[in-house]
Amino acid sequence: MTEQKKKLEKLSGVKGMNDLLPEEAGLWEFFEATVKSMLRAYGYQNIRTPIVEPTQLFTRGIGEVTDIVEKEMYSFTDALNGEQLTLRPENTAAVVRAVIEHNLLYDGPKRLWYIGPMFRHERPQRGRYRQFHQVGVEALGFAGPDTDAEIILMCQRLWDDLGLSGIRLEINSLGLAEERAAHRVELIAYLEKHQDALDEDARRRLYTNPLRVLDTKNPALQAIVQDAPKLIDFLGDDSRAHFDGLQRILKSNNIPFKINPRLVRGLDYYNLTVFEWVTDKLGAQGTVAAGGRYDPLIEQLGGKPTAACGWAMGIERILELLKEEKLVPENEGCDVYVVHQGEAAREQAFIIAERLRDTGLDVILHCSQDGQTASFKSQMKRADASGAAFAVILGEDEISAGTAGVKVLRERQGEGKSEQRTVPVEDLTEFLINAMVATADEGDD
């Protein structure tokens, strides 16, 4: 076999960085449309930040002794200038960087939202990938528990809009820095007594970030963690008032919740309120949305001290839940599929298709696969498979008469697919629009 005839090796994508295929796109679009509608209802504005950020943004913002920074970031050195860069593993730090850099808070608080891919180097599993997608909100410049409550209520509204059930809310308070410091002393002393039983991660974090030991998933450590000093017992009056205020608003809005004293989150920038929305339907990956208050972060990244809170949710996990609960909407086909036979019919088909699109209809124009015009029978099979509501048919007879054939492809209420109708070309647009409206009305009955 010559070198030219050798079969080239088939290339595959990076494990854990998945393709979004056309048959999945409808579900993503449904979720995105639903969440964007919810975000508009609360007055949030979209912000978009780069996928690549300076590595220091995350080591300083997230915390050096965290799983994300220690194990999961995709970091590299820019070959051109030696700059240390990282594919964003989360987006809160990036949004805060943009807010500081562009002085977005000069005229008052902001409600912002984002959506896009994040990257973490971890073992791919159901609902957890190396490239994953998040939608999140950041409320900047609001200090009260009312904003904490509002961003939680947003999640509940989204679950309702999507039709999801069985997602539980867990909340906790991490208090203020001095309260965490007092708890830290007691926690280290307690963990030192059990040092021989701690795993490698827990021993490594014992003196650098002992609070993260409470978030361990190691079954062998659960009894030790359960009896550890609870941060909530160290809260001062102001922190308790903030936490109580949050609970009152949630209760008055009939939002059930559980106080989980072990809930600390995996990022160092949190203070006061933290929360997670969890489910039992996704196995080990039970957290579908999480967030809280991160008042220290803006100053930590070089801005003026500013109150802030927000949440992020993993889109893949939400979509898995929709599939699990059989809430996947049917993929909608186009409105019209135009089939044609002959050169004159093809030219007319282009004109008609563009005219129909001008009115807002979605139109597929049949194109040849091999340069040869397919038979009407073959084209009609394509039209039916496309999910189109109507087929517009153009042949020599229709061109001579100045007409077009119209056939209903989807069964309407009380009848099967209709016989082909003949419609003058000048009346075709109005006919199809009226037919679409009638079909929609029948679907609403």
**Angle at which helices 22-41 and 315-324 cross, to 10°:** 110
| pLDDT tens digits for range 56-110 | 999 887 877 677 787 889 899 999 999 999 999 999 999 999 999 999 999 999 9
Residue 84 lies in a domain: yes
Is residue 215 domain-resident? no
C-alpha separations of 34 from 30, 76, 325 in Å? 6, 36, 17
Looking at residue 281, its pLDDT comes to: 87
| Per-residue model confidence (pLDDT) at position 414 | 42
| Residues 264 and 341 both lie in one domain | no
The mean per-residue pLDDT over the stretch 172-185 comes to: 90
Is the per-residue pLDDT at 2 higher than 60? no
194 lies in some domain: no
Contact criterion met (CB below 8 Å) for 46 and 116: no
At residue 333, φ and ψ (nearest 5 deg) are -80, -175
Highest mean pLDDT pick, 103-117, 263-277, 405-419: 103-117
Q: What is the CATH number of the domain that holds 70?
A: 3.30.930.10
Q: What is the pTM of this model?
A: 0.85
Q: How far apart are alpha carbons 306 and 138 in whole angstroms? A: 12
| Within-domain flag for 243 | yes
pLDDT confidence tier of residue 443, bands split at 50, 70 and 90: low
pLDDT value, residue 415:
46
Cβ–Cβ under 8 Å, residues 288 and 324: no
Nearest by Cα to 169 from 304, 15, 299, 292: 292
Same domain, 355 and 380: yes
Same-domain status, 313 and 341: no
316 and 167 both lie in a single domain: yes
306 and 428 share a domain?
no
The last residue of a domain, from among 271, 291, 324: 324
Question: Does the pLDDT at position 418 exceed 90?
Answer: no
The share of the chain scoring above pLDDT 90, in percent, equals 60
pLDDT over threshold 80, residue 127: no
* Top-confidence residue, 154 or 21: 154
Last residue of a domain, one of 281, 297, 324: 324
* CATH number of the domain that residue 374 is part of: 3.40.50.800
Lowest mean pLDDT segment, chosen from 18-22, 31-35, 292-296: 18-22
Say yes or no: 76 and 132 in one domain: yes
5 in any annotated domain: no
Residue 362: name the closest of 389, 399, 343, 342 by CA: 389
Reported as a pLDDT band with limits 50, 70 and 90, residue 298 is: very high
DSSP β-bridge partners for residue 76: 85
d(CA 105, CA 101) in angstroms, rounded, equals 10
Q: Which of 173, 284, 193 is nearest to 239 (CA)?
A: 173
Alpha-carbon torsion 233, 234, 239, 241, what sign? Answer: positive
> Can you tell me the mean pLDDT for 370-388?
85
Q: Are residues 78 and 138 in the same domain?
A: yes
Average pLDDT over residues 192-198: 85
End position of a domain, from candidates 271, 304, 324: 324
Looking at residues 312-331, what average pLDDT do you find? 90
Asked if the structure places residue 96 within a domain, the reply is yes
Tell whether 81 and 169 lie within a shared domain: yes
Q: How many domains does the chain have?
A: 2
**Do 30 and 136 share a domain, yes or no?**
yes
Write out the residue range of the structural domain in which residue 150 sits.
22-175+235-324
Sheet holding 363-365, edge to edge: 363-365, 336-340, 390-394, 403-408, 421-424
Task: Kindly state whether residues 298 and 414 are assigned to the same domain.
Answer: no
Higher pLDDT among residues 135 and 228, named by residue: 135
Q: State how far Cα 81 lies from the chain centre.
A: 34
Closest CA to 235 of 211, 267, 261: 261
Q: Which of 204-218, 313-327, 344-358 has the lowest mean pLDDT?
A: 204-218
- Residue 72, domain member (yes or no): yes
Is residue 11's pLDDT more than 80?
Answer: yes
The Cα 371–Cα 23 span in angstroms is 27
pLDDT above 90 for 390: yes
pLDDT at site 165:
92
Q: Is 355's pLDDT higher than 60?
A: yes
Average pLDDT of span 168-172: 96
Q: What is the pLDDT of residues 224-248, one digit of tens each?
A: 888 888 888 999 999 999 999 999 9
406: pLDDT strictly greater than 70: yes
Which has more pLDDT, 24 or 113? 113
Residues 131 and 239 in one domain: yes
Residue that the structure tokens 């099979």 belong to: 381
Is 214 in contact with 244 (CB distance < 8 Å)? Answer: no
Comparing 251 with 438, the larger pLDDT belongs to 251
Confidence of residue 413 (pLDDT cuts 50, 70, 90): very low
Cα-Cα end-to-end distance for the chain = 66
> Does residue 115 fall inside a structural domain?
yes
Rg of the chain on CA atoms, in Å:
29
Q: By the 8 A CB rule, do 140 and 102 touch?
A: no
Please check whether residue 278 is in contact with residue 218, taking contact to mean a CB–CB distance below 8 angstroms.
no
| Residue given tokens 């489910």 in the structure block | 279
Calculate mean pLDDT across residues 152-165: 96
Q: What is the 3-state secondary structure (H, E, C) of the chain?
A: CCHHHCCCCCCCCCCCCCCCCHHHHHHHHHHHHHHHHHHHHCCCEECCCCCEEEHHHHHHHCCCCCHHHHHHCEEEECCCCCCEEEECCCCHHHHHHHHHHCCCCCCCCEEEEEEEEEECCCCCECCECCEEEEEEEEEECCCCHHHHHHHHHHHHHHHHHHCCCCCEEEEEECCCHHHHHHHHHHHHHHHHHCHHHCCHHHHHHCCCCHHHHHHCCCHHHHHHHHCCCCHHHHCCHHHHHHHHHHHHHHHHCCCCCEECCCCCCCCCCCEEEEEEEECCCCCCCCEEEEEEECCCHHHHCCCCCCCEEEEEEEHHHHHHHHHHCCCCCCCCCCCEEEEECCHHHHHHHHHHHHHHHHCCCCEEECCCCCCCCCCHHHHHHHHHHCCCCEEEEECHHHHHHCEEEEEECCCCCCCCCCCCEEEEHHHHHHHHHHHHHHHHHHHHC
Q: Are residues 53 and 147 located together in one domain of the fold?
A: yes
Chain mean pLDDT for the chain: 89
